[in-house]
């Protein structure tokens, strides 16, 4: 910009095997399980999902939330930029779920295709979260749920303190 000839390309964090293992380890930790339980309670309260509704999990990862939504009788679809995470989700969910590899900022779905759209622990890893939110709103016809760990949450403050003593996924 400004005639400097410098062009900067940003790339969100797309989980490779090592990063995925760090994230999966965090999900199994007491803090991760507590966050998952909180997200599940909030989605039930705020989305009021009804059996048969179509839900899209943007940044579905290994499919943890998709499994939860499947148990509620929802028609589940997931998308993630990581081929490793999509492969893991496919192993866990089999044919119960439509899974696609793609970017949150450019969803390969029609307008209003889903009743519900969720982004849980997704925005933190994107370069253009505003565009991802636009896309989520475009493909949802009822509600969008956004679950983020912000820098002022108890979990993130504690994670920052712990990160002083060891490497953490959320340092990235």
pLDDT digit string, tens, across residues 56-68: 999 999 999 999 9
pLDDT digit string, tens, across residues 17-48: 777 677 777 777 887 777 788 888 888 888 89
Confidence of residue 11 (pLDDT cuts 50, 70, 90): very low
Say what the pLDDT of residue 163 is: 64
Say what the pLDDT of residue 5 is: 38
Tokens of 168: 């953490």
Say what the pLDDT of residue 138 is: 98
What is the CB neighbour count within 10 angstroms for residue 20? 19
Least trusted range by pLDDT, from 50-54, 73-77, 123-127: 123-127
Q: Mean pLDDT across the stretch 7-23?
A: 61
Say what the pLDDT of residue 161 is: 59
**Helix residue ranges, H only, 7-71:** 17-28, 30-47, 64-71
Q: What angle do CA 8, 9, 14 make, to 5 degrees?
A: 145
pLDDT digit string, tens, across residues 93-148: 999 899 999 999 999 999 999 999 999 989 888 889 999 999 999 999 999 999 87
Say what the pLDDT of residue 151 is: 58
Q: Is 4 exposed, middle or buried (0-12, 13-18, 19+ CB in 10 A)?
A: exposed
Query: Do the strands 114-120 and 140-147 form a parallel or antiparallel pair, or are they unpaired?
Result: parallel
């Amino acid at each position: 910009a400004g005639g400097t000839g410098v062009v900067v390309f940003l790339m969100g964090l797309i989980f490779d095997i090592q990063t995925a293992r760090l994230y999966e380890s965090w999900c199994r930790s007491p803090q991760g399980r507590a966050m998952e339980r909180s997200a599940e309670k909030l989605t039930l309260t705020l989305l009021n999902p009804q059996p048969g509704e179509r839900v899209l999990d943007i940044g579905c990862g290994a499919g943890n939330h998709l499994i939860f939504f499947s148990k509620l009788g929802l028609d589940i679809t997931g998308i993630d930029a990581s081929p490793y995470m999509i492969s893991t989700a496919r192993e866990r969910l089999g044919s119960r779920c439509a899974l696609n590899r793609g970017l949150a900022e450019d969803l390969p779905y029609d307008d209003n295709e889903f009743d519900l759209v969720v982004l849980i622990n997704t925005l933190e890893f994107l370069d253009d979260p505003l565009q991802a939110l636009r896309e989520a709103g475009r493909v949802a016809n009822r509600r969008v749920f956004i679950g983020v760990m912000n820098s002022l949450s108890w979990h993130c403050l504690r994670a920052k303190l712990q990160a002083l003593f060891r490497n953490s996924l959320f340092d990235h």
